[in-house]
Structure 1
Amino acid sequence: MLIGGAFVEGVDGGVREVFDPSTGREITQIPLAGPRDVEAATVAAQEAQPGWEGLGVAGRAACFERFAELIKENRDRLAMLDAIDCGNPVKAMRIDIDLCDAYLQGWPAFARSLSGDVIPASPGNLHYTAHRPYGVVGRITAFNHPVMFAITRPLPSLITGNTLVMKPSDETSLSTLALAELFNEAFPPGVVNVVTGDGATGDAIVTHPSIKRLAFTGSVPTGLLIQRRAAESGYVKSLSLELGGKNAMVVFPDVDIDLAVEGAIFGMNLDVCQGQSCGSNSRIMVHSKIYDEFVGRMAARLDEFRVGVAYEEGTDVGPVVSKAHLKRVMGYIESGVAEGACLVRGGSRPTDLPEHGNFIEPALFADVTLDMRIGREEIFGPVMSVFRWDDYDTMIAEANGLDLGLTASVWTNDLAIAHKTADALDAGYVWINDSTRHYFGTPFGGSKNSALGREESKDELLTYLEHKVVHTRLGDPKVSLSRLLS
């Protein structure tokens, strides 16, 4: 782990085994950080923070530039580590790393544009606003885009002068530990600290009295637990949460069916992270006029995807992250069949791949309804559910009928209908004739249980700064002028 500029083992010596999801073989071990490790990381971050803030935006941006250079130099190594550790196809992980460049350049530009306000609240006085960093930020990242999240998610907290204690998912820590070497070369010691471990490690971060700002990407149950534990710590903390989704893709009968099918598959992130994405459009709601043709073409298109070992160049869909997650996803597929959905294709384990790998042929279900588990619960895997609709109002009610509201997409050639539907969908981020793409600078986040706060935009940058107002009593300018000239 990286603590205070040094690479260290855990104080208590605990470790967690790391398994290759493509083969099931143990490949290494990572430290299990305990409270004493989190304390050491937090103290290191506290000690480094004044100097880091003192560099100003220009000094911090120079570290970002060096970090970006190091990432490019290590691109293939980092991508391969994610393929080995996480199961995502190596070619997709290279693209993940390339996408980080917009964030590495964009955050310093946003930070340079920050300004305060002068407020005309009263005559004879000067009122203005200023910003200060929180100090130490705790960041816990998810397993599905390990290196991308480890690169991009800390950036807004760092450019604003905060220091960091970061914990990757215990399922996928290897690329973050490798990235720690690059953080250590580009940033002053103690600015970025990386600890690895399980839920107990995360809890030590969440409840630490000196970590007042927390950010988490992951599941809804864990997000709710973090809110509760932060409140129980006895300290007021600022939180941002990017959680789950069961996202609706609404398809109208006027679309080009092939384009919509491509959009549905692309939006599932099958060839990036096996559908293990909170933004995946796993509920595909297709009008009955084109329903059968849509399902048929989608099944044929999915047949072209090659499931395989993640670090082989020809692989389109890798294994899911772990044995436990494989069991969970297969349980959903079994429940879909049991509850009456039509399994059109996929849903089984390929027989020509390593016996102990966590492989699933992408599953396509038709005739799904909202009362089925696969229709209402986030699966976080390569399972697509197609709903049939005729009545517009009923379709909108079903699209909004869950306690999740991260993303949605609308597919139609009628611009008026597109915007009417986008406005009606209760989701934080809606695409029209597109899906799953993120555009840096646009606030990403959800409604209901899907999110708290927004990311990837100036909105997020401001959440890593505490706002203060400075008041100056100027006095009577007539009296001051008289004294000055007398």
Structure 2
Amino acid sequence: MPIATVNPANGETLETYEALSPDALEEKLALAARTFAAYRTTVFEERARMMRHAADLLDADTPEIARTMTLEMGKPIKAARAEAAKCARTMRWYADHAQELLAPERPAESDVKDSGAARAEVRYRPLGPVLAVMPWNFPLWQVVRFAAPALMAGNVGLLKHASNVPQTALYLEDLFLRAGFPEGCFQTLLIGSGAVEGVLRDERVVAATLTGSEPAGRSVASVAGDEVKKTVLELGGSDPYVVMPSADVAKAAKTAVTARTQNNGQSCIAAKRFIVHEDVFEEFREAFVEGMRALKVGDPLDEETDIGPLASEQGRKDLEELVDEAVESGATVLCGGRRPKDFDRHGWFYEPTVLADITPEMRIHREETFGPVATLYRVTGLDAAIELANDTPFGLSSNLWTGDAEEIERFARDSQAGGVFVNGMTASHPALPFGGNKRSGYGRELSGHGIKEFCDITTVWIGA
């Protein structure tokens, strides 16, 4: 089955690729195993040199790869450039810190003696070829945040990228080759989703990481569990954004617009449910809706565009169904709620939308909205806000706006999410662990926690 780049701004097919044949796939898996046998013994200094070179090349390639990302999945061009820059920074961060993060750990001398050893330590050794099943929404960043720590730890990577971003996927393989990493150290597998199980069951593939939908996560976790292989999953999110009376409401509303519509609203960590105390509800609602209405929808290659198309026709259809069902059930449309009328009918655009009067019976209350659609709730206090914030099957991140120190501590304690962001929007940084709980997945990416996910934690005990 062909793998194609389709421009979501106009529906035009730009490039088409043939999926790997079984023989070609076997060659790549064999190469990964051979490469790991040698690459695992390289020193950190050598890995860091190549990783820094990759970052330099990415900086130089930014105009080209940013345009490719925009054409493949529709993100505004300025956001695409920012994504490339973030990837380069993360590469350099792991080049600078990997050796320190994976340094052998030595127990206290008294504990070593008590174990009967003359010396004992914990070492972090690479696992082997790791399969990365990655999504289209951040086609560069999602891969680099896996690849940078995995390669610095001594693993090799096999990328099964989303089928609508093949050019970005092929660029990444080429980038690491040009940076000096050995052939086979990072390979792109142009395969359909039906071939993933076979790759994961191959004995040469030792682990997998997936960022994507809940059904995809279940599938990969099920196969990996059957094969007793390590997995890290980052799935969906329906992140709450709580605003209390002591907050800077104007700033909270302005930030809320960006928090909801980043990447055309197609982000797992985008704030989606806006939970506002009744004392400041009207002030927030007015500013938030005004900000959403002011966003410019248009050609994602235009520097002035804020909101481009959704990445796929099906994605827009799914979003429309959630909105339409909510409205039919009594939700109020404060702005948006439809396709823009002044755009090419072949493009997959949707207006920035705010819905109020949401009830628990509506699908939109429980399901993730992957597009520029926000739901707005009114609450009477922090207890009610926390209860509503946690009333979701997801637990990726959460946001609180307040000037009250006690409210911050309470929210940080009781929020059922992998990240808690106060007086700012959720974002990822290489020094901070990233991941969720509940149906948002398990394991962590980034920071020292992320680099150790695909390491064999090995006890070395040496007798007297």
TM norm structure 2:
0.95
For the Cα contact (< 8 Å) 1:216–1:240, is it kept in 2? yes
For the Cα contact (< 8 Å) 1:49–1:162, is it kept in 2? yes
2:237 counterpart residue number = 245
**Matched residues in 2 for 1:57 and 1:419: separation?**
39
Q: CA deviation at 1:182?
A: 1.6
Question: Based on CA coordinates, which of the two structures has the bigger radius of gyration?
Answer: 1
1:264 counterpart residue number = 256
Identity of aligned residues (%): 28
Pick from 215, 236, 250: which aligns with 1:221? Answer: 215
Q: CA RMSD in A?
A: 1.6
1:302-381 correspondence runs (5 A)? 302-381=292-371
For the Cα contact (< 8 Å) 1:33–1:201, is it kept in 2? no
The code of the aligned residue for 2:334 comes to: V
1:223-264: per-residue Cα shift (whole Å, max 9, x none)? 1111112223xx320110111111111111222221111121
Pick from 396, 399, 417: which aligns with 2:407? Answer: 417
For the Cα contact (< 8 Å) 1:369–1:387, is it kept in 2? no
The code of the aligned residue for 1:425 comes to: S
Structure 2 residue matching 1:211: 3-state secondary structure: coil
Q: CA deviation at 1:193?
A: 0.7
The code of the aligned residue for 1:59 comes to: E
Structure 1 residue matching 2:149: 3-state secondary structure: helix
1:79 counterpart residue number = 66
Larger mean CA deviation between 79-88 and 48-57 belongs to: 48-57
Q: CA deviation at 1:35?
A: 4.5
Structure 2 residue matching 1:54: 3-state secondary structure: coil
**Matched residues in 1 for 2:444 and 2:21: separation?**
30
**Matched residues in 2 for 1:36 and 1:254: separation?**
63
**Matched residues in 2 for 1:163 and 1:52: separation?**
8
2:201 counterpart residue number = 207
**Matched residues in 2 for 1:193 and 1:223: separation?**
22
**Matched residues in 2 for 1:17 and 1:104: separation?**
28
1:115 counterpart residue number = 103
Q: Are 2:91 and 1:98 aligned? A: no
**Matched residues in 1 for 2:296 and 2:89: separation?**
30
Structure 2 residue matching 1:215: 3-state secondary structure: strand
1:318-368: per-residue Cα shift (whole Å, max 9, x none)? 000011111111111101101111011112111222220000001110122
**Matched residues in 2 for 1:378 and 1:224: separation?**
17
For the Cα contact (< 8 Å) 2:128–2:155, is it kept in 1? yes
The code of the aligned residue for 1:360 comes to: Y
For the Cα contact (< 8 Å) 2:104–2:124, is it kept in 1? yes
1:386-401 correspondence runs (5 A)? 386-401=376-391
The code of the aligned residue for 2:402 comes to: T
The 1:153/1:31 distance shift into structure 2, 3 A limit, reads farther
Q: Which runs of 5+ in 1 are unaligned?
A: 1-13, 475-486
Count of residues in Structure 1 that have an aligned counterpart in Structure 2? 457
For the Cα contact (< 8 Å) 2:49–2:95, is it kept in 1? no
For the Cα contact (< 8 Å) 1:34–1:200, is it kept in 2? no
The code of the aligned residue for 1:457 comes to: S
2:442 counterpart residue number = 452
Q: CA deviation at 1:200?
A: 1.2
Q: CA deviation at 1:28?
A: 1.3
1:172 counterpart residue number = 165
Q: CA deviation at 1:222?
A: 0.9
Q: CA deviation at 1:176?
A: 2.0
**Matched residues in 1 for 2:403 and 2:381: separation?**
18
Larger mean CA deviation between 118-127 and 408-417 belongs to: 118-127
The code of the aligned residue for 1:176 comes to: A
The code of the aligned residue for 1:78 comes to: I
Larger mean CA deviation between 250-259 and 78-87 belongs to: 250-259
1:428-467 correspondence runs (5 A)? 428-467=418-457
**Matched residues in 1 for 2:198 and 2:299: separation?**
36
Q: Which runs of 5+ in 2 are unaligned?
A: none
2:246 counterpart residue number = 254
Q: CA deviation at 1:50?
A: 2.4
The code of the aligned residue for 2:258 comes to: F
For the Cα contact (< 8 Å) 2:322–2:363, is it kept in 1? yes
For the Cα contact (< 8 Å) 2:224–2:230, is it kept in 1? no
Q: CA deviation at 1:34?
A: 5.0
1:39-84: per-residue Cα shift (whole Å, max 9, x none)? 3221111111122222211111111011111101110100000110
2:40 counterpart residue number = 53
1:236 counterpart residue number = 228
For the Cα contact (< 8 Å) 1:138–1:211, is it kept in 2? yes
Q: Are 2:11 and 1:24 aligned? A: yes
**Matched residues in 1 for 2:23 and 2:287: separation?**
56
For the Cα contact (< 8 Å) 1:19–1:27, is it kept in 2? yes
For the Cα contact (< 8 Å) 1:32–1:201, is it kept in 2? no
**Matched residues in 1 for 2:383 and 2:143: separation?**
41
Structure 2 residue matching 1:74: 3-state secondary structure: helix
1:117-147: per-residue Cα shift (whole Å, max 9, x none)? 3341434543322222111111111110112
TM norm structure 1:
0.91
The code of the aligned residue for 2:14 comes to: I
**Matched residues in 2 for 1:391 and 1:69: separation?**
49
Q: CA deviation at 1:23?
A: 0.3
For the Cα contact (< 8 Å) 2:134–2:162, is it kept in 1? yes
For the Cα contact (< 8 Å) 1:346–1:364, is it kept in 2? yes
**Matched residues in 2 for 1:276 and 1:154: separation?**
22
1:3 counterpart residue number = none
**Matched residues in 2 for 1:338 and 1:157: separation?**
47
**Matched residues in 2 for 1:105 and 1:18: separation?**
30
1:156 counterpart residue number = 149
2:49 counterpart residue number = 62
Larger mean CA deviation between 313-322 and 96-105 belongs to: 96-105
Larger mean CA deviation between 417-426 and 87-96 belongs to: 417-426
Structure 2 residue matching 1:437: 3-state secondary structure: coil
Structure 2 residue matching 1:154: 3-state secondary structure: helix
